[in-house]
Structure 1
Amino acid sequence: MASGFIKTKDGTEIFYKDWGPKDAQPIVFHHGWPLSADDWDAQMLFFLANGYRTVAHDRRGHGRSTQVDTGNDMDHYAADASAVVEHLDLRNAVHIGHSTGGGEVARYVARYGQPQGRVAKAVLVSSVPPLMLKTPNNPGGTPLSVFDGFRAALAANRAQFYRDVASGPFYGFNRPDAKVSQGVIDNWWRQGMMGGAIAQYEGIKAFSETDQTDDLKAMAVPTLILQGDDDQIVPYKDASMLQVKLVQNGTLKIYKGYPHGMLTTHADVINPDLLAFVKG
């Protein structure tokens, strides 16, 4: 099947896509908040054209997966990803995560992928680990008030909030020299509104308050870390610059002027870099 659903131990149905030759090396994609597997279209088509098997799933509560009111946390995100991998029996896989999906990759690799011997490499793109929230031990983090603002805006008018995020900081469309794409904005909004409000509301806590320092330290597979220095969502100095110091075998690349959503706005640059890492 090119797509389908798997049911997790708690009864949640997780939607997945599985494209390409089943005997080819699998590339597994983990999307950001509050999106879906559709956010990886540019990468899935690119890797498919290069002969790889491409797999992506909708996180619980997002996209076409069940709109659950429980388990909206990083532990369940990683367990759900593992359930998809085990169902498809993926081996020697490269796991690529964006933003919240990068946190999902880190926890998946540390708790499932490496112990099971299923993961070959990992990529963290504009990713949230080790910890987004500002704390005494993480003084460079983002204040809690910012995330409280996200929750308040989502609860008050989710549709407008998602318009504002997509048309502003996510893709850097609020910059004076930005080349704005209405189609990209509409697609972000479409994906966000497909998911459940409660899962996305609770997901803010999951991506901002989960300390993944130990997950990163446990990652022994070759890990590529990519981020733009104009990321207005996840500050790179508190994310990628710390990630490369914590993983055991990391390579860091910072893109000057690129936004948080650079996988979409600069796919022509990022995709060949991903392919070179996968092949290397």
Structure 2
Amino acid sequence: MISVTTNDGVQIFYKDWGPKSAQPIVFHHGWPLTADDWDNQMLFFVSKGYRVIAHDRRGHGRSMQVSDGHDMDHYAADVAAVVEHLDLRNAIHIGHSTGGGEATRYVARHGRNRVAKLVLIGAVPPLMLKTETNPGGLPIEVFDGLRQQLSANRAQFYRDFASGPFYGYNRPGAEASQAVIWNWWRQSMMGSAKAHYDGIKAFSETDFSEDLKSITQPTLVLHGGDDQIVPVDDSAPLSAKLLKHSTLKIYDRLPHGLCTTHADFINADILSFISA
């Protein structure tokens, strides 16, 4: 396996496809998945002449299952280790869901001179948790419920999660793909239960407001209008307002897992943005 070792000794697995001289696109996966969740996009963009890179977050997939560091600061630093190891410059960073938070923090903290553009898809910023200053967020009981289900029966929880709200398969008339469900389950079960458990706090309680304000790169913000995981009203429009140079697009009735269910739409819109 191809990996890089971070400053705190964690091996991070990554894929690196395409010509080394091409403009790089770095993909950041969602919770509790792996780089494999980007296979459609990686095949599409490598066919368009880009160099495509995706890593497994620490504790996820093929990366080392360490006990600590499951927070956005470590996630962003791990990305920086991959980027610096490959010496990626003029890169486009694309993050989905939790990966959108990771990409946001990376660009804000580490990517000022290495990043050309940013794409956030169904992303968790600015803040998912309901607080006094974020009254539209989700109550802590929602995330406590995720932790309880993960602890009780992780395998069943992940199967139910993919079969229902993640891809919108619980909506009337939706045609569920068993292959998609099992691929989501396969990726999730590859990772560490502790990393996934701790990651719930990371994606739900991290406030990215200051990160978003500091980002100067052009940013495309995409979100499904029927996102049941990261509700659109308290995420994408708020992020777009905080960003200095943003383009916002909300897809009516599309689910959280829109990169899989509607890959053609997403790929075309990203290509248009990054090639402009």
Give TM class, smaller chain: over 0.9
User: Could you tell me how far apart the structure 2 residues matched to 1:130 and 1:170 are?
Assistant: 20
Q: Secondary structure at the match of 2:105?
A: helix
Task: Name the amino acid aligned to 1:170.
Answer: F
Task: Name the amino acid aligned to 1:167.
Answer: S
1:121 aligns to what? 117
Select the residue among 165, 190, 203 that pairs with 1:207: 203
How many matched pairs? 276
Deviation of the 1:268 alpha carbon: 1.1
User: Could you tell me how far apart the structure 1 residues matched to 2:264 and 2:173 are?
Assistant: 19
Q: Secondary structure at the match of 1:264?
A: helix
User: Could you tell me how far apart the structure 1 residues matched to 2:265 and 2:204 are?
Assistant: 28
Deviation of the 1:263 alpha carbon: 0.2
1:75 aligns to what? 73
Q: Secondary structure at the match of 1:259?
A: coil
2:219 aligns to what? 223
2:47 aligns to what? 49
Deviation of the 1:201 alpha carbon: 0.2
User: Could you tell me how far apart the structure 2 residues matched to 1:220 and 1:170 are?
Assistant: 31
Task: Name the amino acid aligned to 2:162.
Answer: A
**Does 1:169 find its partner at 2:165?**
yes
Q: Which moved more, 1:172-181 or 1:162-171?
A: 172-181
Aligned-pair RMSD on alpha carbons?
0.5
Deviation of the 1:101 alpha carbon: 0.3
1:260 aligns to what? 256
Deviation of the 1:104 alpha carbon: 0.4
**Does 1:270 find its partner at 2:266?**
yes
Structure 2 unpaired stretches of 5+: none
Task: Name the amino acid aligned to 1:176.
Answer: P
Deviation of the 1:254 alpha carbon: 0.3
User: Could you tell me how far apart the structure 2 residues matched to 1:190 and 1:256 are?
Assistant: 29
User: Could you tell me how far apart the structure 2 residues matched to 1:181 and 1:210 are?
Assistant: 32
Q: Secondary structure at the match of 2:250?
A: strand
Deviation of the 1:31 alpha carbon: 0.2
User: Could you tell me how far apart the structure 2 residues matched to 1:228 and 1:189 are?
Assistant: 22
Q: List per-residue Cα deviations over 1:146-185 (Å, max 9, x = no partner).
A: 0000000000000000001000000000011212100000
Select the residue among 168, 182, 194 that pairs with 2:178: 182
**Does 1:141 find its partner at 2:142?**
no
User: Could you tell me how far apart the structure 2 residues matched to 1:40 and 1:140 are?
Assistant: 30
What aligned pairs does 1:18-167 form with structure 2 within 5 A after superposition?
18-114=16-112, 117-167=113-163
Q: List per-residue Cα deviations over 1:199-229 (Å, max 9, x = no partner).
A: 0000000000001100000111000000011
Q: Secondary structure at the match of 2:127?
A: coil
Q: Secondary structure at the match of 1:113?
A: coil
Task: Name the amino acid aligned to 2:60.
Answer: H
User: What is the identity percentage for the equivalent residue pairs of Structure 1 and Structure 2?
Assistant: 69
- Where in structure 1 do 4 or more consecutive aligned residues deviate above 4 Å? none
Task: Name the amino acid aligned to 1:110.
Answer: A
